[in-house]
Chain A
């Protein structure tokens, strides 16, 4: 029984279905229970939360990753699955502590002041959620102080900053400086990205990591986190 429902969760992650109204990759799935309904069912059935995450969600995402590597899946497929996992994680969050599951970490993300490019940042957010992180997205065109205040308040393990303009990327440096001045630089790992940003630039401004795309964003967070 528990095996069945975990297998179904996994399959629906691969199909990228959040709710039962969703269509999947395959035909005729509309109306059948999807990740949200199945995870709710699993909780009601008393299935171990860690098991739901590992055998349902994460193992589903592993298959999605493989399909993406093999060019069978495109990014919108990948994002659909990541969103399903993100939604499930939100649902599971209140149960994590009582089940003794270590949360993976909280990430605050924003596009800096003066910059309206947010497509890349949104993709990064979805993929990070899909990888099981709790992501708080502040939006775009966010001024330095708001970001620093949010770090104080939310106490995330990571701060992700996105900039696509040479005229706005220096805000990243200023934000890191403000974190330093506020004495909270060591509490948070800062990762940066966006078209004009490079590994070199990230080093120069004293960031902890750089991601050239959404997948690198996930892997850099994973490597810094452990």
Chain B
């Protein structure tokens, strides 16, 4: 087995110059100071008031002076760790280190091996958790589906339980109710071994969205407050869409994403200074034909790469979005869209690329085979992030001298020493000769992926310890087994 690449520093792709970043930053502050943003939660407005913000109560608009904005941003940690149940799965966010993970919350799933989709169930979520647990280039599990058979008050606990009980990777997820948040945290404390243990090694994190343009919704702001108070890491992503909820331009979209995600970051740092908060982008473009949301456009990759630079400028850990496709089938479109967007995010040094595997058709549907294929895309992407290492050892002058003109490197120790670490070994790609490919049934990528899906899910035997499960099931209401 080859090595697993994660947390390697990216940042070689810089679509924004230093002047560009400065100009965007100044406009960000100008928007927050002059235009302000709407805060629809009474509690959240109270918090902003404490900082001396100017509040227009009639219109619920909050405006913050530049200095306050920068002071609050500086309170947010620039590095922190999202822990796995198993230490080898820890994720050290910050700098330009790159990690990947799944994303959601999709409603549908493809019936394996077909183009047909159906509503996703809790069972599907468990399977995906097992699958992701076995895919090395997907570093954390963001709960990717919405179990359609459950009522909303049972959603949060069941989603997180399905994650925690099926993989030792870190579990991140969107949340739906305040009560759900409370119970999920309780459950995670039981898994972590106590209140403090969970704060020390947070094995879960949560997502609460900011609304583009320039709005903090009441329910979501209240959830941000609850999560920040509880001291659980959270992401405050914003989803500006070119021409719909942001200016049509890529620069305008980066600006909007920055302001909008900062609204959440600022709130968390007033509520509980030092809260581990991730600056998040789900920014993308739209289909000019009908303004619908696009998940696989090159502009999405560009915007997220630009936003990664803004995150690095503010020294905030960054959650990017890339790796999806708008295709309805595992065809060439699904491959190139996923590859291009993942690559741009990763080379820009995005700390965590969310949605990087498994999602199709406008983020509405997940596909088991696609997780396996994207795992390979991500392996290649991470190899590109690693770059070219130039040392005497890698240049191998002495070896070249020894082999000499017209010799070969096949039997040299140097080859054996470096071959596994220097070259990414794909799991799905076909590199067979035509005869061998024919002999193995002439399968295309997704057919080979189907086989791997089944192998990985079947071989997964991870679960929480029996006594932990018992405690959870007896104390947390609503979990379906």
Docked-complex contact B291 and A196, CB < 8 angstroms:
no
Encode contact with A along B266-290: 1 for CB under 8 Å, 0 otherwise: 0000000000000000000000111
| Chain B residues near A75 (CB-CB < 8 A) | 288-291
Docked-complex contact B291 and A116, CB < 8 angstroms:
no
Cβ-based interface call for A119 (8 A): yes
Enumerate chain B interface residues (CB-CB to A < 8 A): 107, 146, 148, 152, 155, 176, 211, 217, 219, 241, 243-245, 248, 288-292, 362, 364
A169-223 with Cβ < 8 A to chain B: 195-196, 213-214
| Chain A residues near B244 (CB-CB < 8 A) | 119
Complex Cα distance A195/B108, Å?
A: 12
Enumerate chain A interface residues (CB-CB to B < 8 A): 71, 74-76, 114, 116, 119, 123, 141, 166-167, 195-196, 213-214
Q: Beyond A75-B288, A75-B290, A214-B290, is A119–B245 a contact (Cβ under 8 Å)?
A: yes
Docked-complex contact A123 and B152, CB < 8 angstroms:
no
Complex Cα distance A74/B290, Å?
A: 7
Residue pairs across A and B with Cβ atoms less than 8 A apart, 18 shown, are: A74-B288, A74-B289, A75-B289, A75-B290, A76-B243, A76-B248, A114-B219, A116-B217, A119-B244, A119-B245, A141-B217, A166-B148, A167-B176, A195-B107, A195-B362, A196-B107, A213-B290, A214-B290
Determine how close the nearest CB of chain A comes to the CB of B222; give it in whole angstroms: 13
Complex Cα distance A52/B146, Å?
A: 51
Chain A at the B interface: mostly helix, strand, loop or mixed?
loop
Number of A-B contacts (CB under 8 A): 35
Q: Beyond A116-B217, A167-B176, is A76–B107 a contact (Cβ under 8 Å)?
A: no
B289 touches which of A71, A116, A167, A195 (Cβ 8 Å): A71
| Chain B residues near A114 (CB-CB < 8 A) | 219
Docked-complex contact B148 and A76, CB < 8 angstroms:
no
| Chain B residues near A76 (CB-CB < 8 A) | 243, 248, 288, 291
Complex Cα distance A135/B352, Å?
A: 43
Closest-by-CB residue of A relative to B40 is A141
| Chain A residues near B152 (CB-CB < 8 A) | 167
Complex Cα distance A59/B60, Å?
A: 43
Sorted nearest first, the 7 A-B pairs with minimum C-beta distance are A74-B288, A167-B152, A75-B291, A119-B244, A75-B290, A116-B217, A196-B107
Given contacts A75-B288, A213-B290, 20 further A-B contacts (CB under 8 A): A71-B289, A75-B289, A75-B291, A76-B243, A76-B248, A76-B288, A114-B219, A116-B211, A119-B241, A119-B245, A119-B291, A123-B290, A123-B291, A141-B217, A166-B107, A167-B146, A167-B176, A195-B362, A195-B364, A213-B292
Docked-complex contact B146 and A166, CB < 8 angstroms:
yes
Closest-by-CB residue of B relative to A114 is B219
Closest-by-CB residue of A relative to B153 is A167
Complex Cα distance A213/B289, Å?
A: 11
Complex Cα distance A123/B243, Å?
A: 12
Complex Cα distance A214/B291, Å?
A: 10
Determine how close the nearest CB of chain B comes to the CB of A116; give it in whole angstroms: 6
| Chain B residues near A141 (CB-CB < 8 A) | 217
Complex Cα distance A209/B245, Å?
A: 28
Closest-by-CB residue of A relative to B220 is A116
Determine how close the nearest CB of chain A comes to the CB of B293; give it in whole angstroms: 8
Closest-by-CB residue of A relative to B363 is A195
Complex Cα distance A74/B288, Å?
A: 5
Determine how close the nearest CB of chain A comes to the CB of B175; give it in whole angstroms: 12
Docked-complex contact B288 and A167, CB < 8 angstroms:
no
Determine how close the nearest CB of chain A comes to the CB of B279; give it in whole angstroms: 21
Determine how close the nearest CB of chain A comes to the CB of B264; give it in whole angstroms: 15
Determine how close the nearest CB of chain A comes to the CB of B288; give it in whole angstroms: 4
Closest-by-CB residue of A relative to B362 is A195
Complex Cα distance A123/B291, Å?
A: 9
Determine how close the nearest CB of chain B comes to the CB of A153; give it in whole angstroms: 25
Q: Which residue among B148, B291, B292, B362 has the maximum number of chain A CB atoms within 10 Å of its CB?
A: B291
Determine how close the nearest CB of chain B comes to the CB of A164; give it in whole angstroms: 10
Complex Cα distance A76/B243, Å?
A: 8
Closest-by-CB residue of B relative to A168 is B152
| Chain B residues near A167 (CB-CB < 8 A) | 146, 152, 155, 176
Complex Cα distance A40/B205, Å?
A: 58
Complex Cα distance A117/B152, Å?
A: 18
| Chain B residues near A166 (CB-CB < 8 A) | 107, 146, 148
| Chain B residues near A196 (CB-CB < 8 A) | 107
| Chain A residues near B219 (CB-CB < 8 A) | 114
| Chain A residues near B291 (CB-CB < 8 A) | 75-76, 119, 123
Complex Cα distance A119/B248, Å?
A: 14
| Chain A residues near B245 (CB-CB < 8 A) | 119
Complex Cα distance A74/B242, Å?
A: 14
Q: Which residue among A74, A76, A123, A166 has the maximum number of chain B CB atoms within 10 Å of its CB?
A: A166
Complex Cα distance A214/B290, Å?
A: 8
Determine how close the nearest CB of chain B comes to the CB of A127; give it in whole angstroms: 10
Determine how close the nearest CB of chain B comes to the CB of A88; give it in whole angstroms: 23
Closest-by-CB residue of A relative to B245 is A119
Determine how close the nearest CB of chain A comes to the CB of B240; give it in whole angstroms: 11
| Chain A residues near B107 (CB-CB < 8 A) | 166, 195-196
Complex Cα distance A114/B211, Å?
A: 14
Complex Cα distance A23/B280, Å?
A: 36
| Chain A residues near B217 (CB-CB < 8 A) | 116, 141
Complex Cα distance A76/B285, Å?
A: 14
| Chain A residues near B176 (CB-CB < 8 A) | 167
Complex Cα distance A159/B7, Å?
A: 52
Complex Cα distance A129/B288, Å?
A: 20
Determine how close the nearest CB of chain B comes to the CB of A168; give it in whole angstroms: 9
